[in-house]
Amino acid sequence: MKCASDDRGLVAAILFILGMGTLLPWNFFATAFAYFNERLNTTTVANVSGSDQTDPYMFNNMCVLISQLPLLLFTLLNSFLYQHIAEKIRIVGSMVFILLLFVLTAALVKVKMEQDLFYNITMTTIWFINMFGAVLQGSLFGLVGKLPQKYSSFFMSGQAVAGIFSAVAMLISQISKADNENAALGYFVTPCVATLLTLCCYLLLPHLKFARLYLEDGPSNKEETKKELFLNQTESVTLVKVKLSEPAYSPDCYGLSMLTDPKSEAYKTADIVEKQKEQCEEKSPVLAVFRKVWVMALCVTCVFMVTLSVFPAITVLVKPDTMFTGTWADIFTALCCFLVFNVMDWIGRSVTSVVQWPAKGSSLFPILVVARVIFIPALMLCNIPTHTYLPILFKHELAYVLFMSLFAMTNGYFACLCMSYAPQLVRSKDAETTGALMTFFLALGLSLGAALSFVLKMLI
């Protein structure tokens, strides 16, 4: 007979794919920005007056705004929606709508239309992709929070690998000199296949014995049976505990040694009662859960605020300080910015499955998270030819690659620790609430970082 532990490897693989499926669609969408700019004719050209003609659609800036607003709004709403909409409906529904939106986007690659209409359709698509992506990510973080801590790192590693795939796709596209239209078609078809795979993996998860040990609540009649068993066992165990507190008798007369012996039936019964008591309790209010995880929530906000403040708005401006031109200059940003970041981010997230330092209760943890702000001036002082106010202190590209590597690895490491530590601070019943809250603060960090990037760009 197959035991539940045999499914652990498959559960880990499924969580990895689920993590990849949450971010891969949007990463590939963002990779196709060259295609969108070409269709909207947003490339900067000189006008008759000799000055530069600005982008009339402000496409890149609007993409940041339109993507972050629904992400922030719906991660907040998901903290309350989970109580009224079943987890399966939220996850499956989000995946299906994301799939349909990418099918539409892929179909439009070969359809010629007026620029204004194309722009409006694209902005609407971006809004809804991030809306459903926010609900999907928050729901999956809640699901992962019910499992042991190490499984959170598999989910987070999957998210990092999604970035690696998109960076590799961008790199191959630039090396092969593929035209933007054909490259975009590949960028949009790939998320369709990935979303279908993610949906199949999610539907398979409840059929694995190991996953059911943590994820399955059971039908209402099963809950009634648990309550009845809990009441019967509580009465007997409470009687034993009360008698143990009476000083007139020897503790061993009432089985104290049995209650402290993990191999005894009395110990096992007491442990079962405690677990069943927790299962029978109601979920805590959102604010009550927040009071327990607020440190981790603020830490994950800080991690992503620092990251998004310079990546990619500032980091894409850095150029190589060499005399080489041609292919190396063309692929420098794709290779040293996007690929290095995503690979090191993945390594940082993966390390947490082996090492978790500092501990979740350590005061050193938030200090190290805040210390990442040192990377902001470090990257801003790299070789940016268009600088006006700040000097260039780190001209060679090796310095830039070193900063990017440490910057990305610490991003993945601390982000993963925050998301895996938070569910450990609450009851298992509140894991889903915690996941929704942490996803909201993650999105808040992304939004604050995106807003800060505009300010930092002006300082350069």
Choose among 227, 195, 214: nearest CA to 95: 195
Domain that holds residue 415: 4-216+282-459
Distance CA 432, CA 157 (A): 20
Choose among 137, 63, 87, 5: nearest CA to 437: 137
The secondary structure element, H or E, covering residue 390 is: none
370 and 432 inside one domain: yes
226 and 316 inside one domain: no
Please list the residues that pair with 52 across neighbouring strands: 46
As for how many domains the chain has, the answer is 2
Distance CA 102, CA 79 (A): 26
- 246 phi, psi to nearest 5 deg: -80, 120
pLDDT bin (cut points 50, 70, 90) of residue 50 is very low
Q: Which of 280, 295, 321 is the last residue of a domain?
A: 280
117 and 204 inside one domain: yes
The tens digit of pLDDT for each residue in 168-187 reads 988 888 888 778 888 889 89
405 Cβ neighbours under 8 A, 6+ residues apart = 340, 344
285 three-state secondary structure: coil
Higher pLDDT, 331 or 41: 331
Q: Which of 280, 311, 332 is the last residue of a domain?
A: 280
Mean pLDDT for 340-356 is: 92
What angle is formed at CA 264 by the lines to CA 258 and CA 266, rounded to 5 degrees?
65
Tokens representing 393 are 């202190």
Mean pLDDT of the chain, nearest integer: 81
8 and 110 inside one domain: yes
268-277 per-residue burial string, b: 16 or more CB within 10 A, e: under 16: ebbeebeebe
Percent of the chain with pLDDT over 90: 41
Task: Give residue 353's pLDDT.
Answer: 84
Distance CA 74, CA 422 (A): 20
275 and 287 inside one domain: no
Task: Give residue 142's pLDDT.
Answer: 84
**Using the 8-state DSSP alphabet, how is residue 314 labeled?**
T
The tens digit of pLDDT for each residue in 278-308 reads 554 577 888 899 999 999 999 999 999 999 9
Tokens representing 303 are 């991690």
Tokens representing 347 are 């390594």
CA dihedral 17, 23, 29, 32 (to 10 degrees): -80
**Using the 8-state DSSP alphabet, how is residue 334 labeled?**
I
pTM of this structure = 0.75
The tens digit of pLDDT for each residue in 265-277 reads 544 444 444 545 5
Task: Give residue 45's pLDDT.
Answer: 41
